[in-house]
Amino acid sequence: MTEPEHIPPSPETDFDSVTAPDGTPGPASRPDRPSVLLGNATLLGLGYLLLGRRRLALAACVTALALIALVALFPHVTASRVLLGLVWAGTVLHAWRLTRPHSGDPFQEDGAVGEHSTDRHDGTRRPPWRTRLLTAACVLLVAFAWLRLDTWAVLRDAEAAHTGGDCERALASLRWLVPAHGLVHGSAAERGAAQERACMRLSVALDTPDRSDAARMLDEYQAMPGALWDGAGPERADLLLAGVIASAKEQEGTHEALEAPAPSLDTVEEAFAQLSETLESSPGQSGRAGAVAESFLAALDEIPPCRAREIDDRLLAQEWEDPALVRAMEPQAERAPVRLFRCADDLGRLAGSEEEAAARRDFLAAHPEHPLAERSAEGLLATGEYCAHPAAFPAAPAYEGKGPHAMHLTGLDPEEYDFPGSWQADTARDTVLVVCVEGPEKGGYQQTCTYEPGADQLTLPFEDVASVDFYASAFTVQAFELRSGEPVEEYTAEIGDPCPAELEYDYYYFDSVPGEYNSDYSAADLRGIFDRLMD
């Protein structure tokens, strides 16, 4: 008897042949369609393995893993996620196509395709539910692993972007978190939701044109649990300080620029408190915080000098501990005196001599050796308010030795009374004494004299003469040494000769002879008041 010839499987088929117990080859077995579809749904190519297509399985697995790695590295990129989804859909559809029944297929005739299990080698059928459960479990396991990995990747990328202040990228990553991520990794999903809320607040704040509103929202952002950007503090301080500069510029050249203290001082203090707090909690922001402080302090030269002076006084009175703020304050030692000097000029132009004198005094008290000190001393003397606001000018000569001592005189015109040139100072550097004179005022009683009234003057009834009481002319003198700003003399002198031969005074018709008269004095009498200062 001739043995049956063994027929090899056709190269077109990918299924294993089944051999009967007597050794006769049977028809090829076909894997269960749902199992194949579920196998490919794992993205690991398990469906291709069930079909015996190992190369396709390897290619599908490598492609999927490469795309998963790409998504994990760049979770904010939409294209990689879309491509991964297309690959997943493509492998599933391809598995469906490969398991589709064809005409003449013996499995189609007996209904085996997609409904029956594969055959065992002993010719019996294997139950399909086992393979289906196994592949379904693989799908669930892969889905769980993918959601965990995706949650980790999204949070990692979002936190890195958020920490760097790039909320646009952070939000692009966080938008891929869906409720399914929360099911497999609840705590991480909650962190992502908190970050998303914080980032949205930060984005709105940075896009808000109004500085005060933006600063307020940044303050709210810093208090949120999901806030990660350390740069919010310096950014908020920058917005506050920029608002101060803008507000001050609007007042330039007006009386409003001289009003103090202004609410902006509280804003400046709040901004620098924010910088100090940021530097304490986030030392890595020292560069940004220092730049904000330096930019603001440099901009003080662009605003009304009296407003800048107020800010200088507030900031320079504090002790700064952080090196970044200490470095920022160092240039103010040179800039602040100039702004104070310019403020005094503005006060003289917009306010008055008393306000200007007070500013000049403050300048000399704080910066006696400054190159502008001489000009400030000259300005103070020119106001005529030195005795109300005395200040030291160390470059002036000392009040010592033999006189005369050149003086700057206020309250009297030295030219009118022929003061010697050696008594008068031309500049602040020549001035030994600053002398302020008040008078003439009514002094002490001297003498009563009688006068015959003129033809058109009225007298009391039954009186042919008029009695006149003469009083001395009193002058109050204050003298300060300009070099030290200290008072050296303060006295009152009375001068005047009573009872002149003729009494001259201004009168109108029907006026009577005055009953009191301040005695007249000569230029020599007046100069004699200052002899004690000149000796």
Residue with the two structure tokens 């704080």: 366
533: enclosing H helix or E strand: helix 531-534
Task: Give me the pLDDT at residue 80, please.
Answer: 76
Residue with the two structure tokens 């000392």: 398
Task: Give me the pLDDT at residue 28, please.
Answer: 46
d(CA 502, CA 62): 129
Angle separating helix axes 332-350 and 373-383, nearest 10 degrees? 20
Q: Alpha helix locations (H) across 300-419?
A: 305-316, 323-329, 332-350, 353-366, 373-383
Residue with the two structure tokens 């399914």: 180
Assigned token pair, 323: 């090196």
Q: Is pTM, for the whole model, over 0.75? A: no
- pLDDT by residue (tens digit) across 210-225? 999 999 999 999 999 8
* Contact status, residue 241 vs residue 268, Cβ threshold 8 Å: yes
Q: What sign has the CA pseudo-torsion 159, 164, 165, 171?
A: negative
Task: Give me the pLDDT at residue 259, please.
Answer: 53
Give the pairing of strands 433-451 and 407-410.
parallel
d(CA 340, CA 344): 6
Task: Give me the pLDDT at residue 252, please.
Answer: 64
d(CA 400, CA 398): 6
Strands (E), 35-102: none
d(CA 531, CA 529): 6
Assigned token pair, 141: 């396991």
- pLDDT by residue (tens digit) across 167-205? 888 888 777 777 766 566 667 778 878 888 998 999 999
* Contact status, residue 57 vs residue 46, Cβ threshold 8 Å: yes
Residue 44's contacts (CB-CB under 8 Å, 6 or more residues apart) are: 57, 60, 61, 64, 138, 142
Q: Which residues pair with 512 in a beta bridge?
A: 458
450: enclosing H helix or E strand: strand 433-451
Task: Give me the pLDDT at residue 100, please.
Answer: 78
Task: Give me the pLDDT at residue 391, please.
Answer: 95
* Contact status, residue 339 vs residue 366, Cβ threshold 8 Å: no
212: enclosing H helix or E strand: helix 211-222
Task: Give me the pLDDT at residue 141, please.
Answer: 80
Nearest-5° Cα angle at 475, 473 to 477:
165
10-residue block means of pLDDT along the chain (535 residues)?
Answer: 44 42 47 78 78 84 82 76 81 82 49 44 58 78 76 81 86 75 67 86 92 93 89 94 88 55 78 93 91 93 89 88 90 90 89 87 93 94 92 95 92 93 94 95 92 65 76 96 96 93 71 80 94 89
* Contact status, residue 389 vs residue 365, Cβ threshold 8 Å: no
